Structures are given as structure tokens and as C-alpha cells.
Structure 1
Amino acid sequence: MSLHYPHRQKQLQSLVQKLGLPQDAPIQWHLLDLALTHPTISVSDNYEQLEFVGDAVVRLTAAEFLLETYPDLPVGEFAAIRSIVVSDRTLARIATSYTLDRYLLVANSALRDESGRESRLAESFEALLGALYLSTHSLALVRPWLDSHLQELVAEIRTDPARQNYKAALQEWTQGQYKLLPEYRILESGLEGSADRFTAEVWLRGEQLGQGRGRSIKAAEQAAAQVAFLAIYNQASTRG
């Protein structure tokens, strides 16, 4: 059944088309509308309950995909890879590829909180999965488009020596080598909301190991740590 608001119905149909689902897919449109309604719009009619369901859906989808695609991996490796796949950073990345924030109803007050953008995108993405799952009580509307993202992500993760957490990997290396923690220095170099608002430098023993930029301090530090860790890793690989 369609929504009573033609403009919103067209918006959601556009998103469904981006997902690659047919327009006659058995979607419960009121659930999809709820999945893309932030709590700042309505205290009672928002995505929170669907997000709860979607959290389980993305874990189940990732588990099925891993078992089918990599049946020989040990369970510990399954768990490690899945934890990265279902992280806010990864889910927000997938959501961004569909410009999900353009479909999200959210108050301007929340939009001004740029630090909450990643979690907002991840939450709404999980809610989207929850709405699609509850439309059929199966993964029939989820796996046809999400599997391709999982294929790419898992391949990335399996070949990444830092398992996508460069700050942790760099810290482990500096502690192992020097029993010291790296130091991060932050500069605010861009406009609020810009992708390169913050610049981070990572230092150790008076030497700058890397520099990176990001929309948030956390993202900039992760980018700087990535530069530093990969330089160290590649240097060690060359020597080896």
C-alpha cells in the first residue's frame, strides 16, 4: 500500500530503485517511511524500533554471506570480520553510497551536530534493513543488493593487515617496539561540515609518522594512523 503523501512516496520509490529492487517489490511503505524518520521529527513515530530489528538483520545477513562464501574460515575469523562489517563506520559508508541522508527526515538541530552524522547514517541504515526484512519476514529484499557490498568489504578486510582499525594497529606496533603510545595533534583546517575539516598528525619520539584529514577528529586521526601504519607495514614487508 502506498503512502498518503505522493512526494514522500516518490522519494522512497527512488531509493528502492537505487537499491536495485523492482518497483513492485512487496515493500511495506509505511515501515520504510518510519525507517527514515529521525527521533527529532517524532518522539513516537521514528526509526528506533526498526533499527533494533535491523541490527539483527545485518548480523544475520553477514553471517549467511560469510558461511556461504568462505565456508573454510574458522569461526573466530567469521566473528572478527563480521564485527567490522556491522560497525557504524562500515554501515555509514554503505549508506553514503546510496545518499541515504537525502531520504532521512531529520530536524536541523540534529544536522548541525556533524559529529553525530556517522551514527545517524548507521542507525537509519539498520532501520532500513529492518523495514525490508519485516516487509517479507525474510532476507529476500536485503541480500540481492547488500551481498555485493559484503563481497567488496570482506575482500578488503581479509587483505588489510590492520583489519580497518589503523589506530589500534599503530598503537600495538608502537607499544611493541618502543613501549610508547603515538601522539595525535589536531588542526581545524576546513569549514564546518567539510570532508577535510580536521587535519591530524601522528607523532612518535619527535618524528611525524603520518598526516590525515577527516570530517571529524576521530576520522582525521584514523586517516593519519592509516598513512603511518601502512608506511611501516610496507617498509617491513620490503625488508622481509
Structure 2
Amino acid sequence: MTLDLRRHKQLQMLIRKLGLLENTLVDWPLLDLALTHPSVSVQRNYQQLEFTGDAVIRLAAAEVLMENYPQAPVGELASLRSMMVSDRTLAQWADLYGLERYLWISSSALGDKAGRISRLADAFEAVLGALYLSTHDMRLVRPWLDEHLRAKAAEIRQDPARQNYKDALQEWTQAKHKCLPEYRVRETLPPVVEQERFEAEVWLKEDCLGKGTGPSKKMAEQTAARNAFFSFVQPQSTTQMQ
């Protein structure tokens, strides 16, 4: 399959954004396929490349963790890797490189704001799959991906809640107050900000501990829990350490 000149130039621009040379190692039709949403074609889309890319990102994350934290227990490495390659993180990286502007997608699917994070994460994985299959090694992946993986790993390790604020808040409320927090979620119409369709509050008995918004109920709850954690749990932990 031969790409038209305009599409080829678009994909070259993306490759430059990744910091890669515009060389013949890239399988351009495969990269084009990686940026074809299922809403455009049921038969020809990025789903199989996404499947490959999921393995690629996990392998890259594992290698980065082993190189940077060789003494860490395997259980900690596995937990770190799981958090490093979450849909939300992959979508953030996709946004960083403006991946959405290169994506073939129907207008109806594009209008699905709630599915945007999942859509971008899938496309990001598919691009990784296409780059890997272009050479059948990591030479088109790790030169630009490693810095993001290292930064994310460091960020998670420095986070006292390891970015799972709902669990951390629940542990605190059970230990200190012998009860569980309650989440109250409502859909905001129109969204508070673009993509933020839900607003959550986390309550402990009669007290509202925190509020948050997000594109899904789960993410809105996590944001509310994060705000509550840093307002009530972390300050107490810091005081106890002093």
C-alpha cells in the first residue's frame, strides 16, 4: 500500500515530533494503520497493532525499571509498571505529541468525549506496535519513550499514595475513624471544563473531605480522593514525622 504525499508528510511530522529521523526504517503504511480508528473501517484499523503495542509498552517499562531500580523487589516493580502504563498516562503522552490530529476517525466517534482517554491510549499503543514491527526491535521506541517512563516512575515512587488515592484515603478513614468514605457523583451539564463530565465529592460522615472532576465517574472519584488525601492525610503524616 502506498500513501498519498500529504498523508506521508503528516506522518513524517509525527516522527520528527518523536525525535526520530525520517528514515526508511519506519513502515509508513503500518504507521498509518496505527492511526486508523475502528469507526473508519471495521476490517482495517489499529486494533491488532494496539494489541502488539500493549506488549511493547510493558516491555519498555520493565526494562526501564530494571535499569533504574535493579534492587527493587519484583512485586514493587510490577506495581510500578501497572501504574506507569495506565490509560490516563498513555493518553497524556498522546496529547503531548498531538496524536489526535493524525488520527483517522469518524465525526461521531470524535464526539464521544467520555471515550477520549481510552481512544488516545489505544492509538498510542498502536503507534508503538507499528514502530516495533517496522524493525522488530525497540530502536524506534526507546530513544524517545524512555524519558517519559523514567519520569513517570520517579513521580509515582515519590507519591506517598502511589497515585491510588481512593485506597490510601480508605486505609486512613478505617484506621482513624473506623468507617469508610462515601462518594457522591453527578454528571455536569455542561462539563465544568472540556472533557470533565463528572463531579465527585468524598464524604466522611457529615464532612465533605474533597471534591474533584473527571471525564469518568471513576476518575472524578480519584481526583476527589486525591484532594482529600493531601488536605487531611498527608499533612498529618508530615506532622508525625517531624
TM above 0.5, yes or no, is yes
Counterparts of 1:163 and 1:19, CA distance in 2: 28
Q: State the percentage of identical aligned residues.
A: 59
RMSD over aligned CA atoms reads 1.8
Contact 1:190/1:196 (8 A) holds in 2 = no
Structure 2 matches for 1:33-182, cutoff 5 A? 33-182=32-181
**Cα distance, 1:190 vs structure 2:** 5.6
Q: Which runs of 5+ in 2 are unaligned?
A: none
User: 1:30 maps to what in 2?
Assistant: 29
What SS does the corresponding residue of 1:210 show, helix, strand or coil?
strand
User: 1:203 maps to what in 2?
Assistant: 203
* 1:111-161 superposed Cα distances (whole Å, 9 cap, x missing partner): 222221111111111111000000010000000000110111000011111
List 4+ stretches of structure 1 deviating above 6 A: none
Counterparts of 1:166 and 1:131, CA distance in 2: 34
Q: Which runs of 5+ in 1 are unaligned?
A: none
Counterparts of 2:135 and 2:128, CA distance in 1: 11
Counterparts of 2:5 and 2:165, CA distance in 1: 46
Amino acid in structure 1 at the alignment position of 2:55: A
Counterparts of 1:169 and 1:25, CA distance in 2: 48
Count of aligned residue pairs for this structure pair:
239
For normalisation by structure 1, the TM-score amounts to 0.93
For normalisation by structure 2, the TM-score amounts to 0.92
What SS does the corresponding residue of 1:203 show, helix, strand or coil?
strand
Mapped pair 1:194 → 2:194? yes
Amino acid in structure 2 at the alignment position of 1:227: N
**Cα distance, 1:214 vs structure 2:** 2.4
* 1:39-75 superposed Cα distances (whole Å, 9 cap, x missing partner): 1111111001111111111111011111111111111
